[in-house]
Structure 1
Amino acid sequence: MSRAITLGALTSVVGFLAFVEFTSGILQGYYTPMLTNIARHLDIHDADVNWLEGSQLMLSALVVPAFAKLGDMVGHKRMLLISTALTAAASLVLPFTDSFIVFLIAWSLQGFYVVWLPLEIALIWSRSRSMPGRSIITARAAGILVAALEAGAITGALVGGALVDSLSLQVVLLVPAIAVVICFFVIWFGVKESPEPTGGRFDTVGLVLISFALIAFTGGLSFLRLNGVDDPLSWGLVGLGLVLVWPFAAWELRHDDPLIDVRMFRSPALGPVFLTAGLFGVSVLGAQAPLSTFARTDPDVYGYGLGTTGFATSLIIGVYLIAMIVGALLFPLIARLTRPRLTLIGASTLVGIGFLMFLPFHDTYGQLITNMVIVGLGSGALVAALPAAAASAAPPTQTGVATGLTNSVKTVGGAIASCVFGIALLQGAGGAVAEGTAGSLSGYFTVWIVCGVTALAAAVVLVFVPKEAFTDRAVVEAETEPVVR
């Protein structure tokens, strides 16, 4: 009876969190069909849309470690509320500006929603602490949350694609802002706080050090796109960002309660998960804008693309997201029948195959749909699997940090890819860019090759993960071992 009551309470929490992820999905899917409209509204080229994506990913990489750590310290619900309030405020700015700079800042601040999923997984993991089968419970909850996320993304993409063809852009941009405001009150009244926060003092020095490193690194990549790949200052900033990781790591190793326990990167289970998250971020985050603008490019004018309308583009996105839902829901089932590690390897392989299929097959609507279904099945499984795997392999006091790191590393990979893809799409585009298209066909080939190769590389990395990783047996062994500092 006690277990039934506990499980029922957890189910209730998952239900409310599923609404939060549905809202997150709206934010992630709603804008994609209208990126070209937004570019025209702001008077920028389609290739410059990558600035919006890249800046949001850069901010996300900065805030996730801090919010994840604060979630462990003071409560995951509290940090969910704060991040939702910030996301709502930024979303309300977007409909009321036509300034690219203001829009860029608000769009970046809207990226606080990326902390929702890792905080939710950490909250579920902490609330299921006394339950048997904790890993599979968390995996199933993760699958439900990701399914809700993708359902929201489908809804957002379809509604956004339909509205942008019939209403003013200002009215269209107001819809997701209202959804986030509603989400805030759902969290406030429907979600209970996670038990037993760890407390402690926040590692401000660690946050400053990693922030400088990330800003220098991603800023250097952005300048590479502005000034070209032969600019020494840009490469210097990239190098500085990499060098600054060393003092951050040294500080964290000496700190009693670090922002990020860098020893986790040496874990035979967690290290490959973080690397996989970074490689996966290249495709799941960095390729979104290029895929949308490729579909909308007029083949009669430029010789490539599909020339789709906003709504037709949203249908492509919708099919892709349905495939992600299927992948997310199949993940716990397949992981239970085989092993979580094998499921991760299979999912990464599907993503790689799907993107490489774009090279010969990209001329028709049906070809694009087929490729995206394959990519979506693997991507949905990975979105659900990575934070759940990190939670099950992390030290008991670092659950939020570990799940947050999967998102942080993923967003860093996406930010790098966004900058690289922006450069690639501009190379050789010539007059096409001047007319506002997304870029050259060779640039799109670069996008697909990089996404495919990085996904297959992730599959290879996961081969070296211990066979029993991310299972309840591994969790019990990890929690009973003494912590060595």
Structure 2
Amino acid sequence: MNAARRQPDRPGAVLAVLAAAQFTVMLATSIVNVALPQIRAGAGLSDGGTTWVVNAYGLAFGALLLAGGRAGDLLGRRRVLIAGLALFAPASLAAGLAGSPGPLIAARACQGLGAAAIAPAALALALERFPSGAGRGRALGVWGAVSGAGGAGGVLLGGVLTQAWGWPWIFHSVALGAAAVLVAVVAYVPGAAAERTGGRFDLPGTVTVTLALTCLVWGLTTARGGGWTGPPVVGALTAAGVLLAAFVVIERRRPDALVPPRLFRAGRVGAGNVLMALLGSVWIALFFFLPLYQQQVLGAGPLATGAGQLPFAAANMLGSALAPRLARRTGAAAAVTGALLTEAAGLLWLSRLRADGSYLADVLGPSVLVAAGLGAAFVLLTGLAVDGVPPRDAGLAGGLVNTTRQVGGAIGLAVLTTLAGSVTAGASRGLPGPEALAAGFRTAFAVSAAVIAVTAALALFLTRRPGPRTPSSDPLVRTSPPEKEAPPWSPSTKPLPPSSA
């Protein structure tokens, strides 16, 4: 018997380690935002090269998530998680040691490749140990809390490290964290009795969808700097459309499809992913615009900008923790809608930002409101996106929901930055620089509020189950197995007792 399988399965410790892996991935997504001016100066980057410090990570991450999720299903999720961390940690170290643009951007792409293996494998391993019901609700609450805290904590840690020791330490800290998580996974996360589901890897489908997502994310991120009508952007987006159409044709003919149709016949997977894509379109942009407003308009330094994320992180963790309770009381459909409306209200409040404002008057209140709604919505939509998925497809479902969030974020960030830039350019003809920037930020937040309000309206219809809803029919509500159904856990995957949530 494998040594990992002889390890005692302590669900609380396992969840903590897997959540730490997710936190590390989210941290690497946002930790560079505050430090971009210092990175540009230190590595000799151009404007376009500075953008690719962010884009290289997001491009590799978003394009390879589906492949990473399916690899975990077929090869073993623990193995893929360990391999992802083993790549992620040295890639982070290499990024901190890079002194020129090429090695830095290549290291960020390798970070994204490792993250594409880590995120779906960690989520699938967590879902294995927590079946539908209160145990899964608590686990997803932890997942949402660390995801939001990773995004906000990245801004905070990036500001602290950049100001104290310089920008290389934002990457060195991620490398140290990933190495610690790797050791913890080996020590605390046991292998499952039947970790590999069998089957063949869908190479044609994987190659096609990876190329399609690469073209899509590259086209969208390039459009932010070069405009939507440039030949490279139009060519990339056209190629993405053709490749996605080819992927659909390939998948309908493959017996071992990368994204099998059965996945969308299970529970509310389709609804959860559609709504997660819309949520992601605003999520990533939020962490982009708020630090810029604080630094470029309010004049805050990196440390003050990072410290301003602490209330956001606390509110996000609170919203994530309360989401399962809210779902048990009202049902998932009403809970998702309420969370999204809360976020929309906060974004609408942010659309009133002033050039002569302050953090306390203009940022603190609305960002706390946004964070609480965002944290709850993330937990509930993740639960819906894996609702009813058979164990053999858990890694793929985790990869799919991460893909929709990441690709949705790329689309949203491209559209919102282009829109904000256009408004700022127009306003700058008659207004001072800070006022023109504030006008662009207000527009971005107003459009974001409208997107989330539409998402809330869609959630009312997309998240309802056919037929009458009962408390036991909800994946985050069920507290015991349905009648005449065997308990959906084995001795190695039993849920947390109530006291260890």
Q: Judge conservation of contact 1:55–1:415 (CA < 8 Å) in 2.
A: no
User: 1:329 Cα deviation (Å)?
Assistant: 0.5
Q: Judge conservation of contact 1:47–1:438 (CA < 8 Å) in 2.
A: no
Aligned to 1:302: none
Counterpart of 2:123, as a letter, is I
> Separation in 2 of the partners of 1:458 and 1:232?
32
User: 1:25 Cα deviation (Å)?
Assistant: 4.9
User: 1:265 Cα deviation (Å)?
Assistant: 4.5
Q: Judge conservation of contact 1:21–1:146 (CA < 8 Å) in 2.
A: no
SS of equivalent to 1:463: helix
Does 2:128 match 1:126?
Answer: yes
Does 2:84 match 1:83?
Answer: yes
> Separation in 1 of the partners of 2:94 and 2:364?
34
User: 1:314 Cα deviation (Å)?
Assistant: 0.8
User: 1:123 Cα deviation (Å)?
Assistant: 1.5
Q: Judge conservation of contact 2:289–2:441 (CA < 8 Å) in 1.
A: yes
Does 2:462 match 1:461?
Answer: no
Q: Judge conservation of contact 1:30–1:160 (CA < 8 Å) in 2.
A: yes
Choose which of 397, 406, 411 in structure 1 pairs with 2:401. 406
Query: TM-score w.r.t. structure 1 length?
Result: 0.85
> Separation in 2 of the partners of 1:397 and 1:30?
34
Superposition pairs for residues 337-352 of structure 1, below 5 Å?
337-352=329-344
Aligned to 1:38: 39
Superposition pairs for residues 45-60 of structure 1, below 5 Å?
49-60=50-61
User: 1:50 Cα deviation (Å)?
Assistant: 4.5
User: 1:319 Cα deviation (Å)?
Assistant: 1.4
User: 1:36 Cα deviation (Å)?
Assistant: 3.2
Post-superposition CA distance 1:139-190 (Å, at most 9, x none): 2112123334445555554443223223233345322211111211111121
Aligned to 1:183: 181
Aligned to 1:443: 440
Aligned to 2:384: 389
User: 1:368 Cα deviation (Å)?
Assistant: 0.8
Q: Judge conservation of contact 1:427–1:439 (CA < 8 Å) in 2.
A: no
Moved more, 162-171 or 78-87: 162-171
Counterpart of 1:167, as a letter, is W
Q: How many residues align?
A: 462
> Separation in 2 of the partners of 1:475 and 1:424?
49
- Aligned CA RMSD, in angstroms, stands at 3.3
Post-superposition CA distance 1:102-136 (Å, at most 9, x none): 3223223322335544323322322345xxxx332
Does 2:319 match 1:322?
Answer: no
Moved more, 219-228 or 321-330: 219-228
Counterpart of 1:143, as a letter, is G
Aligned to 1:452: 449
Counterpart of 1:217, as a letter, is L
Choose which of 134, 137, 154 in structure 2 pairs with 1:136. 134
> Separation in 2 of the partners of 1:310 and 1:53?
17
Question: CA 1:83–1:358 in structure 2 vs 1: closer, same or farther (change >3 Å)?
Answer: same
* Long gaps (5+) in structure 1: 1-5, 298-304, 481-485
Post-superposition CA distance 1:2-36 (Å, at most 9, x none): xxxx9973223113223334434543454343233
Query: TM-score w.r.t. structure 2 length?
Result: 0.82
> Separation in 2 of the partners of 1:244 and 1:475?
42
> Separation in 2 of the partners of 1:105 and 1:168?
20
Does 2:408 match 1:416?
Answer: no
> Separation in 2 of the partners of 1:98 and 1:422?
28
Post-superposition CA distance 1:360-390 (Å, at most 9, x none): 1343212211111111111112332233222
Counterpart of 1:419, as a letter, is A
Question: CA 1:55–1:185 in structure 2 vs 1: closer, same or farther (change >3 Å)?
Answer: same
Aligned to 1:364: 358
